[in-house]
Every structure is written in C-alpha cells, then in structure tokens.
Amino acid sequence: MSDLLAATEIQSAQVNDAHEAVLRFRPEFLKGRAAPGLGNPQGAAPVVYLNGVRQGGADMLRTIPARAVLEIRYLTPAVASEQFGPYYTGGVIAVRTRH
C-alpha cells in the first residue's frame, strides 16, 4: 500500500472532496494503524492535518475540495509522533493543498 495519494490520481477520479478520494483510493488511511506496544490492537482513528495545522477527525476531509488537493499522505503513528508530538496512535492523514 502506498502512503501517498497524489493530485493526479485524485483528479482522475472526479471526486468532490478529499474524503471521497481517500475512500476510493486509500480507504485504509481512515482505519489508522495501531503502533506496536500502545495497547490499542484495533487502531485508533487518525487525525487530519491540513497544511500542517491540526483539523480534527476524518470527517474534516469532507470540507476540503478535491480540486484543491496537492497530496494526501498517511503518516504512521511513529512518524506522526516525531512530527507532531506524542499521542497519535491512529496516525495522521496529512493534506497539502494548492495556495
């Protein structure tokens, strides 16, 4: 599985928002992945970041128009904790948009 969903792939699907794009191409992003040893075998929900700013849960992806997205990247719990601090047991869905 690729942890990156690029604009070219999103545009080819003609979806309305980032949530639809993730559902279509990388639904596993929405499930998150439990980090080993954190005591959450089912995995916690990932947190959404938009251009480096925390937004909230996966429903926030519905507010991001697909045409504005440059990339959507899934960060594992370990990588998310390195970049944003501890407590990202479900990882992070990081969205970059066009400016």
Per-residue confidence band for 3, with pLDDT thresholds at 50, 70 and 90: very high
58, 23 Cβ separation under 8 angstroms:
no
Q: Mean pLDDT across the stretch 17-21?
A: 98
Per-residue confidence band for 42, with pLDDT thresholds at 50, 70 and 90: low
Q: Where are the domains of the chain?
A: 4-97
Selection from 18-27, 35-44, 77-86 with the highest mean pLDDT: 18-27
CATH number, domain 4-97: 2.170.130.10
Q: What is the pTM of this model?
A: 0.88
CA–CA dist 43, 40 (Å, integer):
5
CA–CA dist 16, 63 (Å, integer):
10
Residue 7 above 80 pLDDT?
yes
